[in-house]
Amino acid sequence: MVSIAVNTSRENVAMLGIGAYRPKRLVSNAEVCEVLDSTDEWIFERTGVRNRRWISDDETLRSIAAAAGERAIVNSGIDRSKIGTLILATSSWLTLTPHGAPSVAHDIGLNGIAAFDLTSGCGGFGYGLGVAADLIRAGSAEYVLLIGAETMTVGLDPTDRGTAMIFGDGAGAVIVGPSEENGISPTVWGSDGENAAAIKQDIDFLEYMHRAQSMQGLDPEVDPVGRMSLRMEGPRVFRWAAVTLPRALSTALEVSGVAIADIEVFVPHQANARINELMKKNLGLADEVPMANDIENTGNTSAASIPLAMEEMLVSGRAKGGQTALLLGFGAGLSYAGQVVTLPPAPAEPSF
């Protein structure tokens, strides 16, 4: 008979370490407006973005994900041999096959472990955090490395006023593992397929291939196919967020058993500063409760947004490890995911 080792389930889990990677290139609103028909003032007033990070030189989604993951391992102090699963939350890996997580695992010395991609747009980190916590609670893994990483600029039309001013690139990661006290509440999540087209890829893969095939033999200096780009109906997304997200936040508090007065830090997805201010006000959070504002100099990095924002608050001292935080990711799908969590320790190796 073959003996199969089974991990013991663990009820209490938490984020034990955090790491991040911010691309070297800082892109100002003024630089974006060299191509985009807009102004620095208009962009900041409507979105809260002043600067964003874009990959350059040898930076890729693979390299920035690995860098963030490595920093999370180092900052957690966990022996990497105990990490049994890697989840890569991303919507911008360039191939469907092979998917990205196994390659990233190989790059940071974790080849052979369970590794999979999770695609849920800007809610990806929240979805991944729920999956990671439940894997550990079920005994399927002892420690999980969760990475949210995006290179949104690869699929941007620089002339599109709906997207070009908002998005940036980056990666953030956490180590999730057993803890003495529970630090991750049940995940509150959902989706709205009826409004899914509000954020979408404008050409599907099959149509893009057909266009490319039909243009074979033409001048290679001309791009008659067009690029495959992300499109977003901002007002439609804003209306959805205004209705859906307050209910999601209230439910997250309810299932966690934590009162609104006990929330010490608010870390919403960095999609739009106006939406975030509205959510904080509607929740009734006190003015002194710090709220993430990484969007100002990082932009919207989709699935990387929440871990990058947490890392920035911990590094800057606006938040401290051990504090109780409310997280909420939302976006493409349209989907959302939120949790009440205990923040991990500030990183010894920050991304700044």
Catalytic residue numbers, as ranges = 122, 269, 300
Q: Which long-range contacts (CB under 8 A, 24 or more apart) does 3-7 make?
A: 6/139, 7/139, 7/140, 7/141, 7/142
Helices and strands per DSSP (H, E), number in the chain: 10, 13
- Amino acid identity, residue 284? G
- Residue ranges with strand state E in the chain: 13-21, 25-28, 51-54, 83-89, 114-118, 143-151, 169-178, 188-191, 199-201, 230-232, 265-268, 324-331, 335-342
Question: Rounded distance, CA 166 to CA 295, Å?
Answer: 9
What interhelical angle do 305-316 and 124-138 show, nearest 10? 90
Over the range 208-235, which residues count as b (16 or more CB within 10 Å of their CB) and which as e? Answer: beeeeeeeeeeeeeeeebeebbbbbebe
Secondary structure letter of residue 225 according to DSSP: S
Cβ neighbours of residue 152 closer than 8 Å, sequence gap 6 or more: 92, 167, 168, 169, 230, 300, 301, 302
Helix (H) or strand (E) segment spanning residue 244 = helix 234-256
